[in-house]
Structure 1
């Protein structure tokens, strides 16, 4: 099948001039009078004729997608024109070359319906329709219970239909995609022969509603890391102070400190400081991880934060013989 020739389309686009009246015809017959000038085409018709030249060139070069885009624009420009239906034929040709036989069939049918008696090549187009219909297979798709009410069915970069329902695709082996908002994309390898009908029941998995943890966890983890670090520093300072006291006592006559007991006390404080440094590091690593898994959009508005008192406070408690954390909260 060929494209609608450029000359034929150009003739279609040129608006028919109204026949002159008898008086004007007699005036036009006078040799001294100039022939009436034809009114220029409208801007839409002029653009359509210009675009057709490019569309024809793209089609001949094998750029069927580019030609399709041009033909679609031409069809829009001819809105309301009595011969707009001619462009439907060329749209069908472009879809046919792109192996979208279902859309080509739709364009050819519209061409025949809208063209009526004006579609002089009706027999040829009807023969093409019958040939294309024999190239398509039918896939009847249903969605398992619990799935979405409707889903889009894609073949490559084309949407070929919706599910539940029937889609018509060229015979062969294909990978179809079923897409629905709130559900994971389902890909399925299928094989369908031309003029064959197969049935599929597909189960779509719902996407997780998890968007991240609350920012309160990050704030709490960071506060615990800071508090643990403060306790560790306090314990370390206390161990250093006891060590300095022991050194001073050793150089002082009559000092009554028990060196063994003091060394054990220093060792305990140093060990506790090391443990708290480790705890602080653990909470710090946790805070870093929480940065990436926190739903920051869930943070309350500033005015709400001011209106609500802090629910939890972590305070260090350090003494000569003890160290720990104090939780102060309102529930």
Structure 2
């Protein structure tokens, strides 16, 4: 008799514990981590190897298992979308990732998405998603400058912070975010401005905020069109037109511009000096290529925030060129490629560059 009573009591307690655990899980936000590779999934031969290592080695389940504290802030699950170094990202990778993110944010059981990514092209992917995914739910990209095997590895804290941001309601509606080195940056603005250092990513106009011990502190809001307010939609894009970048410098020739055109570029971003300056030796080739229907976009390769003014340095109206505003060359390439899925009109392209 006593054994039966004790057994029933134990069963009842176990049931209460299960219900309590289920209740706690239901109260926590649900965050999906999409892994694509990069240094954050890298491994070196020795703990002293912070710059010499193999990227894209550690699968997403091990990344999550290495940070058990994640489960205290969200119900976390992972998907391995790619396992590559980000310098090998192609337009097809962008489209595949974008469509997966768009599908996830439509699910009622997903409150936020984190994307682990190599740092070399992280800023391009972040801006692409900013343009084409329609959602108010947080989408947070994260990477690391050191592999997890290195001393003072930054990946675990970066990933913890990214999940923390993605799980919070106050991150909603702010567009795609990049969370590294305790900063929360806009996917539109942020760029990798230095290698080897953990503070590699900066925005020329400053971060949106900070994340400290799981709490967000916001300082400014993005004002350019993004996500829910974007006219572009990943579900309507199956192919991205080819856009090339040609670098401006002293003694530059028109060789790179003509080669890009011959390879089928629909637009060429001129990564110019200063205010997107174009050397005299290059101007005739760019006029000729524009006459062939190729869009010419003047950008600047000034790292701290090149700001290209229309009809300054070059008569853009006369030549029917577009200026990239404050977008660096690689982000200008992303916007041009997305915009060209909808229009070939240079005036419309310029309007898009002002608004995004």
TM-score (norm 1): 0.26
More helix by share: 1
TM-score (norm 2): 0.25
Structure whose alpha-carbon radius of gyration is higher: 1
